């Protein structure tokens, strides 16, 4: 995905790590399909979420699980991006489709901050 398009100081930057667990593999596969085929990835790109990675957890106690990380200039920038995401007409349409209902059993969000010596 490349180097994030951010210009603010590292001390203000925020990284957001999100994981979406499903009760079963079938339910998790549905969320992953929504993310890929439903083009949530494209929506994140269009809205400038600065993706670090998108991935599917293949080992560990939190499977099945979709995980991704995005980064923002600061907390206010992060909040503004999520407000834009939630109010986006495409997201509203996609998330209302019957085939994509109830496809997450647990969402865990972790915020991370770079150190003074971090490159990005």
pLDDT in tens, the chain (120 residues): 567 778 888 888 999 999 998 888 898 899 999 999 999 999 999 999 999 999 988 888 888 889 999 999 999 999 999 999 999 999 999 999 999 988 888 899 999 998 877 766
Is 103 within 8 Å of 22 (Cβ atoms)? Answer: yes
| Strand 65-72 to 14-21 pairing | antiparallel
- What is the reported pLDDT for 43? 96
Query: In the numeric block, which tokens belong to residue 93?
Result: 């349409």
The answer for residues whose C-beta is within 8 angstroms of residue 95's C-beta and 6 or more apart is none
How many Å apart are CA 110 and CA 19, to the nearest integer? 9
- How many residues does the structure list for the chain? 120
Looking at the chain, list the stretches that DSSP marks H as alpha helix, in order from N- to C-terminal side. 25-36, 40-46, 75-87, 89-96
pLDDT at site 116:
73
Q: Is the pTM of this model over 0.95?
A: no
Task: List, in sequence order, every residue forming a beta bridge with 42; answer none if it has no partner.
Answer: none
User: pLDDT value at position 1?
Assistant: 56
Residue 114: its pLDDT value, please? Answer: 86
**pLDDT for the residue 64:** 84
The pLDDT value recorded for residue 82 is: 97
| Rg of the chain on CA atoms, in Å | 15
Q: Check residue 2 and give its pLDDT.
A: 65
């Amino acid at each position: 995905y490349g180097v994030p398009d951010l210009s603010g100081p590292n001390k203000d930057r925020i990284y957001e790590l999100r994981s979406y667990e499903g009760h079963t593999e079938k339910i998790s596969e549905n969320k992953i399909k929504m993310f890929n085929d439903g083009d949530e990835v494209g929506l994140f790109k269009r809205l400038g979420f600065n993706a670090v990675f998108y991935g599917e957890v293949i080992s560990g106690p939190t499977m099945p699980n979709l995980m991704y990380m995005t980064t923002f200039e600061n907390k206010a920038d992060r909040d503004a991006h999520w407000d834009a995401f939630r109010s986006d007409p495409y997201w509203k349409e996609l998330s209302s489709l019957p085939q994509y209902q109830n496809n997450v059993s647990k969402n865990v969000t972790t915020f991370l901050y770079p150190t003074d010596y971090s490159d990005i």
